[in-house]
Chain A
Amino acid sequence: MREYILRRVLQLIPTLILISIVSFTIIQLPPGDYVTTYVANLAAAGEELSEEEIAALEEHYGLNQPGYIQYIKWITNFVQGDMGLSFYWDRPVNRLIGERLMLTMIMSFFTLLFVYAMAIPIGIYSAVRQYSLADYVFTFIGFIGLATPNFLLALIFMYIGIKVFDASAGGLFSTEYLDADWSVAKVWDMLKHMWLPVVIVGTAGTAGTIRVMRATTLDELGRPYVETARSKGLREGQLTMKYPVRVALNPILSTIGWRLPEIVSGTVLVALVLNLPTTGPLLWRALMSQDLYLAASMIMILSTLTLIGTLISDILLAWVDPRIRYGERGTT
């Protein structure tokens, strides 16, 4: 087991290097760079810049150097914890991302919790009572949840919030805590605001996970080992939880890693609509304005989180499934 974890951690290194190159290159792929966008914006506003001024800007941002030099500079600093300067905000990327990243992670954590707390019991129930009225109801709600875009759901909730409760549903904090320092009261205020975006962002995930949980449980329910358990005289509920559900949870565990980036990228539109101080809107704006270092750093961080998530789910899976733990499948 220890060897397995070590091997998986070592495998992360080349993957991360590759991702850093790819994320840096992808941002540079669209024609032009931050300066051209900037100049175009100024031109649209009726202000012309001279050749010298443009060259000076490029010099200032280091954009006149070849791409690989820019990359090496950025990655060396990145590894040391300095993510460079945001052109657009004219502030260090570290400071821009810091709190937003933390809020994003807190929200992702609660969203995951919400998704699993809702989806796993419902999925099991739907499988065990297949084709029952409740199964049809959950399936119906689930498909609606899957089919409704998150941002639309956010708009609906905001409308209801204003019309019915006369309260704004946007943001993560009440006005009085917006710029306040962190305190117990502020955390409590945040939690009070957070459930709504968590429900909105988690709905699609919940619907999808219900389907997965239902399908895998159904698959396992018909397996011979379940019949063996039944032939021992175990109570139905007991044997369902101990055997098929236990096995059906494996694919859920192994996809925790993919859930994280899904939530982060899935929140962009919702965060824009609900005015959430998470990383989503920031990444969106960085990509729009070709804000090289900010965008590359954020993509890099998100990818790293994804890889860590995958690693965690792999370790979890090896921990719960002896067939993976022992690195072999029995001969038939």
Chain B
Amino acid sequence: MDTLLEVRNLQTHFFMAEGVAKAVDSTTFSIRRGQVLGVVGESGCGKSVTARSIMRMVRPPGHTVDGEILYSRPDQDGQGASIDLLQLPATGTEMRAIRGGEIAMIFQEPRASLSPVHRIGDQITENILLHQEVSPSEAEEIAVDMLRQVHIPLAEQRLDAFAHQLSGGMCQRVMIAMALSCHPSLLIADEPTTALDVTTEAQILELMQGLQADLHMAIMFITHDLGVVADMADEVAVMYLGKVVEQGAAADIFRDPKHPYTIALLESLPRMDQRREWLQTIRGVVPDPYSTLSGCPFHPRCADFIEGVCDEIVPEPITLEDGREVRCLLYTEHAHQERPPVAEDASHS
């Protein structure tokens, strides 16, 4: 299966008066064509900023300072040419053609994501007219068709509705219809169901799964809900403090998590098959984004912390036998050394 998007060493920093917040700090992961990648992590771990970096929509004081975002154009003739999105001007013609046309995005607050003063139909057709060579009336037909595909009843009438006249779930359906109206090859969904109630959430997830299969697009599904990821994703990337600490097939990660953070996350889930007085928690809190930790960023909270190793050496991604990538020193030779000599330490940094 070929790679659609490859993010390498992405660094997006926010230059604030308080200091530099490294929201995304050398993140590396990839998305395959037609597959769902679930990106999980706590609030503030850089999931949304990663998504906006891919879209080239990071606003000042945020800046993507380094890295590569290799996007392979969906060419049918043999090899797809791959371009580095970070090399394109963020507001240039080429990037704007990709944004909304080839990579679309939906957001956390469905109603707030729609304009309060423009009609639904106007907002959907706008996207179609931007990226397709069609007349306004044809665009309207496509819009109605899309609204039907996301199961909105009375689609024609809904074109004239305003966001405040629709429920949150309906608004998210409209957002999905809008995002998919140009058949993007990648849909970035930034916590699309977080603001919805569980019943609506289930419906939206089901809808997204159906559309994903029909349209054969890839989805980058950002969430902090591991249950949703288990339900939706083919692959999972776990983020902590701006880094992907583990990426692999969803089944593998849930069955046999490798990174101590992933292990701790999964252990903190309530489970039906175990009776427990207390839920497991991860000790400590996420450090504030301005601090610079030496070594592995997870070491102050890690259960398997090795003194003199984890707080000194920055782990690099390692590929395990099952194709999984883990950023953890436990899976390197360092774990077997009692205390590495200082001189040797320099070679690993």
Residues of chain A having any CB pair with chain B under 8 Å: 223-225, 227-236, 242-243, 246-247, 320-323, 326, 328-332
Contact = CB atoms under 8 A, between A and B. Distances in A.
A232 B122 CA distance: 13
A246 B119 CA distance: 13
A233 B117 contact: no
Interface in B160-190: 162-168, 175, 178-179
Given A246-B118, A332-B111, 15 more contacts: A224-B107, A225-B112, A225-B114, A227-B57, A230-B99, A231-B104, A232-B100, A233-B98, A233-B99, A233-B130, A234-B130, A235-B96, A322-B117, A330-B111, A330-B164
B164 A320 contact: no
B225 interface: no
Interface string B80-114: 00000000000100011111110011011101111
Contacts of A229: 115
9 contacts: A224-B109, A224-B113, A228-B178, A230-B57, A231-B179, A232-B178, A233-B99, A321-B117, A326-B165
Contacts of B99: 230-233
Most A CB contacts (10 A, CB to CB) among B97, B111, B115, B127 go to: B115
B150 to A, nearest CB: 16
B55 interface: yes
Contacts of B55: 231
B131 interface: yes
Contacts of A228: 105, 107, 113-115, 123, 175, 178
B145 interface: no
A121 to B, nearest CB: 20
Nearest to A222: B59
Interface residues of B, number: 38
Given A230-B57, A322-B164, A326-B165, A235 B91 contact: yes
A322 B114 CA distance: 13
Given A227-B113, A231-B55, A235-B96, A323 B126 contact: no
A142 to B, nearest CB: 23
B270 interface: no
B287 interface: no
B325 to A, nearest CB: 28
**A-B pairs, 6 with minimum CB distance:** A330-B164, A233-B100, A232-B100, A233-B96, A233-B99, A224-B112
Nearest to A234: B130
A323 B107 contact: no
Contacts of B179: 231
A328 B116 CA distance: 12
A322 B100 contact: no
Interface in B224-270: none
B183 to A, nearest CB: 14
A330 to B, nearest CB: 3
Contacts of B113: 224-225, 227-228
A246 B122 CA distance: 15
B175 to A, nearest CB: 7
B115 A330 contact: no
Contacts of A323: 116-117, 162, 164
Contact of B101 (A233, A329, A332): A233
A329 B117 contact: no
A235 B117 CA distance: 19
A192 B282 CA distance: 76
B179 to A, nearest CB: 8
B45 to A, nearest CB: 20
A165 to B, nearest CB: 46
A313 B114 CA distance: 25
Contacts of B127: 232
A233 B115 contact: no
Contact of A322 (B111, B116, B166, B167): B116
B221 to A, nearest CB: 16
B115 A225 contact: yes
A320 B96 contact: no
Nearest to B55: A231
Most A CB contacts (10 A, CB to CB) among B98, B164, B168 go to: B164
A1 to B, nearest CB: 15
Most A CB contacts (10 A, CB to CB) among B117, B127, B131 go to: B117
A233 B131 contact: yes
Contacts of A330: 111, 163-166
B69 to A, nearest CB: 16
B112 A231 contact: no
B26 to A, nearest CB: 25
A328 B162 CA distance: 12
B313 to A, nearest CB: 38
Given A232-B126, A233-B97, A225 B116 contact: yes
A331 B164 CA distance: 8
A320 B162 CA distance: 13
